[in-house]
Chains A and B, each alone.
Chain A
């Protein structure tokens, strides 16, 4: 196997993992026997029986267990083995005669390995201590009642390490927790004051390589009483029955991996005890006990710690789940608030960003963007809008799922490196083909306290082509920046985002429905207005015309036959009808000023003016009015409406003339982004207090006897100007003439094209 030493990145998993459980080595402080049931024939034995029992290994091999132990013990063991549960006899005190009356006393632990061999491990019974169950129960009870008073995970973990240290008296007890990415960190620690603290340190994933993790998962407790001790071999190294090295996976005495021992040496650890914390069949963390010198821990004590760890860890798990649950519930609550806000606002996006909590709280993001119909609404720390345009484009081409998330966007979308500070993490949900909600998380420039340099977490020793992992030599703190990576998105956060997507889709659909309904209503009322306009122009006028015509016929033929009164009555009737006809005309004209219906086009203002003057020529001639004008521009306008505007204003200027002949001037002046037109006269003027009132429909300042009119002319003017998004006003003093001003924007009114739909039966839609 070749390893490129130049390369800084070595894929740790590609290295050959030393099969620790098949090493055929055990720790020297105990004796391990591999037995064949049912005769309990000794197939293999550790090569340290001489030093511990004074019997050579060769003398033990191929014997039976009964040759080592007296019949009383054998009977007890046989009974235990046949009971089906080895835990009933674990541990069993065993005594073996060394010489004469010299007995060695052991704690014996039995287990059957994966191959079906019975494995007996004998550890010297160093103390006569026996942890009474009751005191142990009190210990656990005290711990648990303490736990119930504490709220958070950290405090729980702290209690665990305190209790374990209390029971075991190790120099240092730590609680490791593994992250999803396999890195570990020390989240609780209890130690001698003189020791350097490891609390808060992070360790790269490679510190506890995969095979070691696997073993930690299957062995809930590992003990190395003397890290300096020389391992002993099993004899023979190959099991004579299976013809393979014996599987020592679940053995207590199994030797630690060389690199693990080296690791311990580097930390100055003389003895270690490790308790695995398993959750959902996964290694959640470890309780690691370190001692500076060698330290033997009795089987009972180990079991007590294991039990304590488990009991308390059950609480931890529950609490961790509660924390998850609380967070999930909180997100659900935020989500329901957002839905409420969205339905309250006219625009659902306002509901997401204008209140507290907002879009950011839903996923624990630092920035968010709603991309809706080519418009971006940003909140918090986000990339620039122009960057988002490209990002959304990229998402359209690359994210086909209902959602997309990453905690390292720059690694899959290199452009994002430019804004890694705000968007190393991205969570995106498409609302439809081209609309997205995006959440961003910054690069974790959090300084991680790694226990050493993670890039040198292992060295590669190449000797004789063998590759072996070695732990780093130093535990000095150094700061490492996790580049281009954000905190990971939690499942519940992604779920909350997806739930929000449903809500938005519903709201958008509902709003689209409402809009469609509104458009439909509008169209209907428009159609009805048009119908009304038509009826007004025709059906209402017909009977009026009839009255008018016959009254006139009466007058024409019978004038002579009628007296003065009758003739006067006829005159009143004629006038009334005539006014009614004018009113209907004006109402019709007013209703025809319809924003939707004007076709805006480039209109020569002079032509519109000429047309208006043409319509007024009779009155101009009658009154001897002179009308002058500035050079007039071409503007974007409805030409008929513009003509009507001039016609009404000039007709008013003539109507409200003083004793002099009307002098009317039409001015035009270019302002920044609009044209300012004026119609100036030398008429009777208007009292300034009425300068707003005159534009209100049906408002008149004079009786009909003084001045004919319906009071609609200026209302129509105002409506026309509103359609053009301009302004109209008057400046005047009584007796000094009046000047009417109106503006027309240079670009014309920005037309809100309604899907290019032309209203049918449009009064103004034909080119004229």
Chain B
């Protein structure tokens, strides 16, 4: 008798201002075999409110993975990253910076802030799909994440 271990439903928290990019990432995650949900906010302020369960987000589920763009309105991605990594609770959530910027300063700065990994958005759709697949496989299946 096989016991089906119910796969945990994953929450992927996407912080991205560009509608087109949101859609692309959503499309990429459609290929995923894992039960998941992509939750999206479009600026840094909302991102922090969501993570801290403030305002409209009092019942927001804690995400298993944060995909963070660096250039955001209202509150910059760098600030969001710094705040997450300075928060004793939030800092355990893996953060993947996913951005267009190839600026080395941005890369160094992100790692200085203990980002879990930094990925440059691809210009090539196939590559993008591969990246998303890689993220999903690595961060949501392979890596043992700290229990909530």
Contacts and interface: CB of A to CB of B under 8 A. Distances in A.
A binds B: yes
A550 interface: yes
Interface residues of A, number: 19
A766 B20 contact: no
A763 B105 contact: yes
B121 to A, nearest CB: 6
Contacts of A534: 101, 103
B110 to A, nearest CB: 14
A538 B71 contact: yes
B128 interface: yes
B100 A541 contact: yes
A552 B101 contact: no
Interface string B83-108: 00000000000000000111111001
A581 interface: yes
A546 B27 contact: no
Q: Is the interface of A mostly helix, strand, loop or mixed?
A: helix
A556 B129 CA distance: 12
A581 B104 contact: no
B58 interface: no
Interface centre among B21, B100, B102 (most CB of A within 10 A): B100
B125 A549 contact: yes
A550 B122 CA distance: 12
B5 interface: no
Interface in B95-137: 100-105, 108, 121-126, 128
A556 B28 CA distance: 13
Interface in A515-549: 534, 537-538, 541-542, 544-546, 548-549
Interface centre among A552, A578, A763 (most CB of B within 10 A): A552
Contacts of B24: 549-550, 553
A727 B48 CA distance: 54
A765 B54 CA distance: 40
B18 A553 contact: no
Contacts, number: 49
A117 to B, nearest CB: 103
A626 interface: no
Contact of A546 (B18, B71, B124): B18
A461 interface: no
Contacts of B27: 553
A534 B102 CA distance: 9
Given A538-B100, A538-B103, A552 B21 contact: no
Contact of B100 (A542, A556, A578, A761): A542
A588 to B, nearest CB: 9
A752 to B, nearest CB: 25
B105 A761 contact: yes
A545 B103 contact: no
Interface centre among B18, B108, B123 (most CB of A within 10 A): B123
Nearest to A549: B125
A553 B125 contact: yes
B21 to A, nearest CB: 7
Contacts of B121: 545
Interface string A633-644: 000000000000
A604 to B, nearest CB: 22
Nearest to A551: B125
Given A541-B100, A761-B105, A552 B125 contact: yes
Interface in B10-54: 18, 20-21, 24, 27
Given A534-B103, A538-B103, A549 B123 contact: yes
A538 B100 CA distance: 6
B105 A581 contact: no
Contacts of B18: 542, 546
A134 to B, nearest CB: 104
A113 to B, nearest CB: 99
A578 B124 CA distance: 10
Contact of A763 (B104, B125, B128): B104
A546 B21 contact: yes
B106 to A, nearest CB: 9
A548 B20 CA distance: 11
B104 A546 contact: no
Contacts of A542: 18, 21, 100
A546 B128 CA distance: 12
Interface of B: 18, 20-21, 24, 27, 71, 100-105, 108, 121-126, 128
Interface of A: 534, 537-538, 541-542, 544-546, 548-550, 552-553, 556, 578, 581, 761, 763, 766
10 contacts: A538-B101, A542-B18, A545-B122, A548-B123, A548-B125, A549-B20, A549-B24, A552-B124, A552-B126, A766-B108
